[in-house]
Structure 1
């Protein structure tokens, strides 16, 4: 028994991990701590586009087009591997309902369906301010690199996107 305990103590400490909900906005991947997420609602028609409100448990929840906020309303230019803007608008979208510490329940209009990820503490690194200025990005300052096969994730700071 003493040898098993000694072996256990010699093992390196596990690196802390954070559970994330990852989603795509235009060409890049973003994420939020999973603890903020409350529900994912598929967008079935364009009613939510015009009204920008949805209901959850008889509570009206404002919907933010987070892509426009992050990209500072910069126009999306199609690239060689990118679908045309009209085709991209037709791709599936979802509303990710989150609990913002500052604003309460808020719906984020995102592209596609989000997925769950785990990130080690060592995967987090700051995003250079020059990169953010060059690409007209706001609401982010952390990059998460999971591994070589998955695209990097920008950690979204929702509260900084609203006045």
Structure 2
């Protein structure tokens, strides 16, 4: 029998549906953004217009001013910030590098999410996701999250970010 005429093995189960996500770590927790909202991830040199209590900044990338949302402050409602003597935001990150996930806002404008570590692309099965309990959404320490993914029992859970809350002004995002 030639390879072309061999009968195909029947699949005992169907391949599980997966989606691609941009996954990154903040503090000890893992978070995910749907890849379809992320235009690109770039390394950034300078973040402008920040201060000790600021939740946003500005990056100049390819001659374009991009507003930057401080994910750590949005999610945890506080941030371990270190400012240089010139007032520039510094991070305790991988070799002093900072990364920017450039996403598209609901208004169609680019918005950057500042990351301390380089993110990774992950395919996650739909069955790995579940909604977070309402009590946790209302009272939990993490804000701007909507669901959780547990890829397998050997890995930490991944919190799925709520884009609607991330793009809202800081006070409304944390209500």
TM tier, smaller: 0.7 to 0.9
> Unpaired segments of 5 or more residues in structure 1?
77-84
The residue matched to 2:36 in structure 1 has which SS? helix
2:118 is equivalent to residue 118 of structure 1: no
Please provide the CA RMSD for this pair: 2.8
Partner of 2:27: 26
User: What is the rounded CA distance, in whole Å, between the counterparts of 1:37 and 1:112 in structure 2?
Assistant: 16
- Tell me, what secondary structure is at the counterpart of 1:24? strand
Higher helix residue share: 1
Q: Tell me, which stretches of 5 or more residues in structure 2 are unaligned? A: 83-89, 170-175
Aligned mate of 2:114, from 94, 104, 109: 109
- Kindly state the Cα deviation for residue 55 of structure 1 after the two structures are TM-superposed: 2.9
> CA-to-partner distance for each residue in 1:42-88, whole Å, 9 max, x for gaps?
243454746811233432211010221122x2466xxxxxxxx76x9
SS, match of residue 113 in structure 1? coil
Q: CA deviation at 1:32?
A: 0.8
Asked whether 1:139 is paired with 2:140, we answer: no
Q: Which residue of 150, 157, 161 corresponds with 2:162? A: 157
Distance 1:60 1:74, change over 3 A: closer
The alignment covers a number of residue pairs equal to 151
Distance 1:115 1:145 in 2: 16
Superposition TM-score, scaled by structure 2 size? 0.71
Are residue 4 (structure 1) and residue 4 (structure 2) matched?
no
Larger RCO: Structure 1 or Structure 2 (Cα < 8 Å, ≥ 6 residues apart)? 1
Alpha-carbon distance, 1:112 to partner: 0.7
Q: Is the 8 A contact 2:40 2:103 kept in 1?
A: yes
Inter-CA distance 64–98: structure 2 relative to 1 (3 Å threshold): same
In structure 2, distance between residues paired with 1:108 and 1:123? 25
1:65: which partner in 2? 70
Kept in 2, the 8 Å contact 1:26–1:111? The answer is: no
Distance 1:3 1:95 in 2: 50
